[in-house]
């Protein structure tokens, strides 16, 4: 009983859920799941301190808490606002939130080059998903989109600054996963960019994870660059013994060829376990991996379409089919069936067999 | 003293009577009363003229909690712009065991049109240091920082000299005046970012990081500088602590109207005869402030008042008719409440006290474009609505100002500002949105004029308005 008392009751879009104190609204919504989960472009549950920047997860708090039922005056970033007991939140039920979110999506796409046709991230891009779900069908921006000079950050990772939405995820990744962060956000305002200031390659055992955490195509895998579209590839779970990381990955294959290796991502597009660069970039022989089975990519994705994942294989072992009954001798139905015409010799029919050969044939 | 007692019976007296009493009693100046004395910048002169007496009084007779109580009683409101009660802010400071607490003085005064803190620091550095001393004592801060705007290149030297003087005379350092209280004051120069005037961005910058505002909560009172409880106060707020201690919180609260207590520095600029920093008690009307010889001295060349930004560039602009009288027809006073009367639909804000007056020749579109350009330049780029929206507004306004605009652009601007306001991490988004919103709300016809007369708009010289039509707003006949 004592533990139950500690839980906070929260209502999100009129759905109640009980969560631990200190949970954010976004995570409470994720516990409910479904359509009411606010989209998040910058929040990453595995990265400390992330979130609050993209403003796509804005929600309206219609009741602050049981103790203080006043609504919050502004929309709040659900990824960084912790729940209070008795809090009521409106996400998809609030037109104000939908309108604000549409505005945020428009802002995010304002300077985005929309070069999806040549972008390696296309098909697994969170900004694409966000644009389809919440965006308008056109832009009202009539000016030149901003561009940046190309910066070389090494042989494995390609930086396209024009596509960046400045979510800071890669900065947190480098801070929290590697020993030395050499990239960061330079300049301010619209001119902000991810860079190393003095051109420098990102070299660190785990730096490849910035590719996985990047919600857009700003950071892509250079060893996979322009090799294939992600939806033509077949993702399979695989593992190998790795002394640096968990070794649990997703291989993106076509036939027996491994095109790229990524970490496993959950349904919110977040990495389950970070993997090392050796697994990601240097281990592309199928022999090095133990393949577990096909991977379902959940996030509103075209990747899973056309792939036979989740199909139910027939249970053909006799024991299961008979469900505990003893098998009886099966009759040879062919010998008694009227359909059966053993007298017609297929080898003597000209060309392919036709129903006429059976039906019109003399008995 | 007789007058002092009279001032206590404010409830039964008219505003004019109260004002007269205060004028006679105080000469209406609390902060700048000694500013004219030659050499007041230096310790000796400052001390001779009653300096550090408040600090001495605090050390001798008051406990830290008593100082906070006194400030609470005074009703002092933050002078940095938001107007949050200072005493309340101080009492919110978390006081966990074994964790240091910090006081930070926000001297990153970068709001266009505001220059009151510069004046205080330049001419009365010891007043600020005394205020910091009292506040640090009240809050239990042993390291206090002055975060000063980088563009004020010469002022840190003045402050550091004053700090050295105070140290020599035993007002800073270890065991101040034998009380056992230690305090060091450090001056930290900013690097020229407007956003570092936002308290959490200031703290980040002070820690040596990129000046991005933090996401609140946690508030600085719980986790501020180096994750310790921190209070960030404006220069003027901290300086005002000195007269509060000198005359007592209750006496201080008697100045002004309602919740706008005490005196406020207003930095007046624009089309007025006498630009400068004025100390007002918050009992005078806006009209008096603009036209009285004691203050701005009216508008030069006999021109008419068109509009005014009453509290620094980020607050909504008000046309003359709404500036002098509220929508209800009452006289608008120079107080927090009165300036905010009618909300943003027909009112504005006291803000940081940057009083910018526009005469009949000024073009509101040009003015709005200039402000939008400023906010575009100063956006930190952390959150998307502000990063992208400020640049978009700037470009649309540029088009309108230079005669390339469309009618739909005005609605577009309105929509952009609506989607920025309230959706950002820090108030810079609001600050960028409000001037645009107010300009369209009150001066839509000027935007339309620019769209309808593209050639005339293109040929206009630096935003001097020569509209064929009479002024959109009936200027007050004063």
Residue B146, domain CATH: 3.40.50.11540
Question: Is pLDDT at B213 greater than 70 in this prediction?
Answer: yes
Distance (Å) of CA B65 to CA A180, B229, B449? 45, 17, 59
B334 shares its domain with B396: no
> Is B393 found in the same domain as B285?
no
Smallest Cβ distance to A189: which of B215, B381, B415?
Answer: B381
Residues B134 and B274 in one domain: no
Confidence of residue B233 (pLDDT cuts 50, 70, 90): very high
CB B265 within 8 A of CB B114: no
Residues B188 and B44 in one domain: yes
Measuring CA to CA, which residue among B7, B219, B188 is closest to residue B104?
B188
Q: Where are the domains of chain A?
A: 2-106, 111-294
Question: Does the beta-carbon distance from B380 to A188 stay under 8 Å?
Answer: yes
Q: Are residues B261 and B248 in the same domain?
A: no
Q: A58, A96, A103, A189: best mutation site toward chain B, by most B Cβ within 10 Å?
A: A189
Beta pairing class for A8-12 and A87-90: parallel
Closest by CA position to B450, among listed B439, B465, B462: B465
- Give the confidence band of B288 by pLDDT, cuts at 50, 70, 90: confident
- Asked if the structure places residue B198 within a domain, the reply is yes
> Would you report the helix, strand and coil content of chain A in percent, each value rounded to 5?
25, 15, 55
- Residue A1 has a pLDDT of 43
- Comparing B12 with A172, the larger pLDDT belongs to A172
User: Quick one: pLDDT band at residue B24, thresholds 50, 70, 90?
Assistant: very low
Domain that holds residue B401: 364-459
What is the Cα–Cα distance from B243 to B171, expressed in whole angstroms? Answer: 18
The yes-or-no verdict on residue B242 having pLDDT over 70 is yes
Partner-chain contact B384 A187, CB within 8 Å: no
- Comparing A173-177, A335-339, B273-277, B401-405, the range with the smallest average pLDDT is A335-339
Same domain for B210 and B95? yes
What is the rounded distance in angstroms from the CA atom of residue A93 to the CA atom of residue A91? Answer: 5
Among candidates B84, B51, B59, which has minimal Cα distance to B134? B59
- What CATH architecture applies to the domain A2-106? Roll (3.10)
Nearest to A55 among B381, B412, B423 (CB): B423
Distance from CA of B96 to the nearest CA of A (A): 20
Q: Which one of B328, B359, B390 terminates a domain?
A: B359
Concatenating the DSSP letter of every residue in A140-185 gives ---SPPP--------SSEEE-GGG-----HHHHHHHHHSS----EE
| Residue where a domain terminates, one of B307, B340, B359 | B359
CA distance B56 to B50: 11
Say yes or no to pLDDT of B79 above 60.
Answer: yes
Q: Do A166 and B381 touch (CB under 8 A)?
A: yes
- Asked, for residue B478, whether it belongs to a domain, the answer is no
Residue A94, min C-alpha distance to chain B (Å): 15
Q: Which strands make up the sheet holding A76-77, listed edge to edge? A: A15-19, A8-12, A87-90, A58-63, A76-77
Whether A108 has its CB under 8 Å from any CB of chain B: the answer is yes
Residue B473 has pLDDT above 60, yes or no: no
B277 and B145 together in one domain: no
Residue B401: pLDDT above 80? yes
Interface-testing mutation among B195, B201, B384, B385, with chain A (most A C-beta atoms within 10 A): B384
Residue of A51, A75, A104 with shortest CB distance to B384: A104
Instruction: Give the chain B residue whose CA is nearest to the CA of A140.
Output: B412
Q: Which residues in chain B have Cβ-Cβ distances shorter than 8 Å to A100?
A: 419, 423
Residue B81 near residue B352 (C-beta atoms within 8 A): yes
Same domain as B402, residue B337: no
- How far apart are the C-alpha atoms of A194 and B2, rounded to whole Å? 67
Residue B145 has pLDDT above 90, yes or no: yes
Domain assignment present for residue B424? The answer is yes
Span B261-283, average pLDDT: 87
| Band of pLDDT at residue B2, cut at 50, 70 and 90 | very low
Q: Does B387 touch chain A (CB under 8 A)?
A: yes
Q: Which of A43, A72, A190 best tests the B interface by mutation, with the highest count of B CBs <10 A?
A: A190
User: Is residue B198 located within the same domain as residue B284?
Assistant: no
Chain A residue with minimal CA distance to B381?
A189
Q: What average pLDDT does the segment B458-463 reach?
A: 64
End-to-end CA, chain A: 81
What confidence score (pLDDT) does residue B391 get?
92
- Of the two residues B253 and B12, the one the predictor is more confident about is B253
Residue B437 above 90 pLDDT? yes
Is B465 a domain residue? no
Specify whether the CB–CB gap between A269 and A261 falls below 8 A: no
Residues B140, B54 within the same domain: yes
Which residues partner with A87 through β-bridges? A10
Final residue in a domain of this structure, among B359, B381, B405: B359
Residue B320 lies in a domain: yes
Under the banding of pLDDT at 50, 70 and 90, the label for residue B362 is: confident
Residue B25 in any domain: the answer is: no
Q: Domain for residue B298, yes or no?
A: yes
pLDDT of residue B205: 92
Where does residue B454 rank: exposed (0-12), middle (13-18), buried (19+ CB within 10 A)?
middle
B175 and B201 in one domain? yes
**CATH code, B269:** 3.10.20.600
Rg for chain B, CA atoms, rounded: 23
| Residue A39 distance to chain B (closest CA, Å) | 14
Taking only the tens of pLDDT, chain A with its 363 residues reads 445 567 888 989 888 999 988 889 999 999 988 888 999 999 998 888 888 899 999 999 998 888 888 888 889 999 998 888 889 999 988 899 999 999 999 999 999 988 988 999 888 888 988 888 888 888 888 898 888 888 888 888 899 999 999 999 999 999 898 888 888 898 888 889 888 888 778 888 888 899 999 999 999 999 998 888 888 888 889 998 888 888 899 998 888 889 999 999 888 888 888 999 888 888 888 888 888 888 877 766 666 665 555 566 666 666 666 777 766 655 555 555 566 677 777 777 777 777 777 777 665
Answer yes or no: is pLDDT of B434 > 80: yes
Q: Which of A290, A289, A266, A263 is nearest to A275 (CA)?
A: A263
Do B329 and B348 reside in the same domain of the chain? yes
Q: What is the mean pLDDT of residues B225-245?
A: 91
Query: Does any domain span residue B8?
Result: no
Whether B371 has a pLDDT exceeding 90, the answer reads yes
- pLDDT of A232 reads 85
What is each CA distance from B252 to B10, B72, B153, B333, in whole angstroms?
13, 11, 34, 19
């Amino acid at each position: 009983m004592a533990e139950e008392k500690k839980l906070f009751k929260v209502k999100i879009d009129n759905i109640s859920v009980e969560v631990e104190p200190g949970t954010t609204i976004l995570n409470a919504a994720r516990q409910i799941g479904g359509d009411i989960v606010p989209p998040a472009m910058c929040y990453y549950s595995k990265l400390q301190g992330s979130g609050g920047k993209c403003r796509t997860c804005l929600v309206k708090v219609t009741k602050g808490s049981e103790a203080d039922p006043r609504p919050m005056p502004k929309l709040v970033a659900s990824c960084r606002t912790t729940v209070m007991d008795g809090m009521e939140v409106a996400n998809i039920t609030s037109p104000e939130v939908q309108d604000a979110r549409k505005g945020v999506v428009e802002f995010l796409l304002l300077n985005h080059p929309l070069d999806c046709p040549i972008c390696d991230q296309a098909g697994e891009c969170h900004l694409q998903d966000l644009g389809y779900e919440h965006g308008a069908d056109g832009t009202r921006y009539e000016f030149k989109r901003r561009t940046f000079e190309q910066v070389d950050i090494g042989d494995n990772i390609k930086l396209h600054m024009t596509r960046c939405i400045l979510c800071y995820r890669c900065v947190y990744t480098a801070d929290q996963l590697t020993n030395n962060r050499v990239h960061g956000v330079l300049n301010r305002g619209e001119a902000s960019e991810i860079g190393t200031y003095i051109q420098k390659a990102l070299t660190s055992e785990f730096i490849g994870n910035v590719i996985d955490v990047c919600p857009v195509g700003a950071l892509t895998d250079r060893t996979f660059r322009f090799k294939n579209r992600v939806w033509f590839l077949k993702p399979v779970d695989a593992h190998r013994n790795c002394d640096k990381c968990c070794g649990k990955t997703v291989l993106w294959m076509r036939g027996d060829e491994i095109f790229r290796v990524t970490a496993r991502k959950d349904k919110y597009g977040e990495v389950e376990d970070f993997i090392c660069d050796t697994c990601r970039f240097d281990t592309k022989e199928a022999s090095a991996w133990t393949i577990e089975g096909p991977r379902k990519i959940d996030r509103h994705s075209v990747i899973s379409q056309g792939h036979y994942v989740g199909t139910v294989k027939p249970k053909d072992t006799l024991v299961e089919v008979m469900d505990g009954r003893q098998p009886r001798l099966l009759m040879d139905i062919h010998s008694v069936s009227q359909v059966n015409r053993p007298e017609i010799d297929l080898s003597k029919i000209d060309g392919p067999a036709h129903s006429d050969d059976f039906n019109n044939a003399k008995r | 003293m007789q007058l002092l007692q009279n001032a206590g019976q404010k409830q039964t007296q008219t505003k004019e009577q109260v004002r007269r009493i205060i004028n006679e009693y105080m000469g209406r100046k609390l902060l700048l009363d000694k500013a004219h004395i030659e050499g007041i910048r230096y310790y000796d002169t400052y001390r001779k003229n009653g300096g550090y007496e408040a600090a001495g009084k605090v050390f001798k007779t008051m406990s830290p909690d008593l100082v906070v109580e006194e400030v609470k009683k005074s009703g002092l409101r933050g002078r940095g712009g938001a107007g949050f009660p200072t005493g309340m802010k101080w009492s919110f400071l978390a006081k966990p065991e074994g964790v240091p607490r910090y006081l930070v003085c926000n001297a990153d005064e970068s709001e266009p049109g505001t220059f009151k803190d510069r004046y205080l620091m330049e001419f009365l550095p010891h007043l600020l240091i005394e205020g910091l001393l009292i506040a640090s004592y009240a809050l239990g801060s042993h390291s206090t920082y002055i975060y000063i705007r980088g563009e004020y290149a010469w002022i840190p030297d003045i402050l550091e000299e004053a700090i050295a003087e105070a140290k020599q005379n035993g007002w800073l350092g270890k065991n101040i005046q034998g009380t056992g209280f230690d305090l060091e004051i450090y001056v930290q120069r900013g690097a020229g970012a407007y956003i570092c005037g936002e308290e959490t961005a200031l703290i980040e910058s002070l820690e040596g990081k990129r000046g991005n505002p933090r996401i609140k909560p946690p508030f600085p009172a719980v986790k501020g500088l180096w994750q310790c409880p921190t209070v960030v106060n404006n220069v003027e707020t901290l300086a005002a602590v000195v007269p509060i201690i000198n005359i007592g919180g209750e006496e201080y609260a008697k100045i002004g109207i309602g919740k706008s207590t005490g005196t406020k520095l207003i930095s007046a600029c624009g089309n007025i005869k006498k630009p400068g920093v004025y100390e007002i008690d918050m009992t005078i009307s806006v009209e008096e402030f603009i036209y009285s010889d004691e203050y701005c001295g009216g508008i030069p060349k006999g021109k008419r008042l068109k509009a005014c930004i009453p509290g620094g560039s980020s607050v909504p602009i008000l046309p003359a008719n709404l500036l002098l009288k509220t929508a209800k027809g009452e006289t608008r006073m120079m107080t927090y409440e009165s300036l905010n009367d009618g909300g943003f639909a027909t009112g504005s804000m006291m803000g940081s006290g940057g009083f910018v007056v526009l005469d009949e020749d000024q073009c509101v579109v040009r003015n709005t474009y200039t402000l939008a350009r400023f906010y575009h330049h100063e956006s930190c780029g952390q959150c998307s609505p502000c990063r992208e929206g400020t640049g978009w507004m700037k470009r649309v306004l540029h088009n309108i100002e230079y005669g390339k605009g469309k009618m739909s652009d005005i609605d577009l601007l309105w929509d952009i500002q609506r989607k920025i306001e309230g959706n950002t991490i820090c108030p810079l988004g609001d600050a960028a949105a409000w001037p645009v919103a107010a300009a369209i709300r009150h001066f839509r016809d000027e935007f339309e004029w620019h769209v309808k007369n593209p050639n005339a708009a293109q040929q206009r010289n630096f935003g001097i308005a020569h509209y064929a039509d009479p002024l959109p707003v009936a200027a007050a006949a004063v």
